[in-house]
Amino acid sequence: MHTSGILQRLHLEDTGVPIYVQLRDQMLRLLGARVLEPGDQMPTMREVAVALRIDLNTVRHAYDELERIGAITLVRGRGSFVAEPPHVQSSRATAAQTDSLARQTIATAAAMGVDPVALVKRITALAQQKETKS
């Protein structure tokens, strides 16, 4: 998909969740849905800032977060690219990463006024749907 298709799918809401978090999470959902494949170029930070009418530093913060968690790779002078999926890690590393993600998700849910237990049930249902489609 061309980067303009990505830009059309992004939107911000006045939910109290920081803009960079909304942007990061939406990008993660698009990457998880394989809208962009590993190696594909991401929209430039400037393109995202202009399309969403937000500050470039906000977009940079979201992209930095995406790079930190390994979802994208930033290449100076060339742009941002969807990262290759990580290799299977040891069970200890996976457990620590899972705990960290769970805590982050619970905090985000709480900030949005979403019951964490209801969220777990919904995540489980969505994961089961994905398994049956695979």
Q: What is the CATH number of the domain that holds 50?
A: 1.10.10.10
Count structural domains, the chain: 2
106: pLDDT confidence band, cut at 50, 70 and 90? confident
95-115 average pLDDT score: 83
| d(C-alpha 114, C-alpha 75), whole Å | 37
Averaged pLDDT, 78-103: 79
pLDDT at residue 1 is higher than 60: no
Place of tokens 């993660």: 28
Q: Please state the length of the chain.
A: 134
Cα-to-chain-centroid distance, residue 8: 16
70: left (phi over 0), alpha (psi -120 to 50) or beta: left
pTM of the complete model: 0.68
What does the pLDDT average to over 113-124? 89
The model's confidence at residue 102, banded by pLDDT at 50, 70 and 90, is confident
Task: Identify whether residues 99 and 46 lie together within a single domain.
Answer: no
| pLDDT of amino acid 73 | 94
Q: Decide if pLDDT at 74 tops 70.
A: yes
Same-domain status, 27 and 77: yes
User: 52 near 58, Cβ under 8 Å?
Assistant: no
Q: Tokens representing 14?
A: 């006045």
Question: Which residues span the domain enclosing 111?
Answer: 91-133
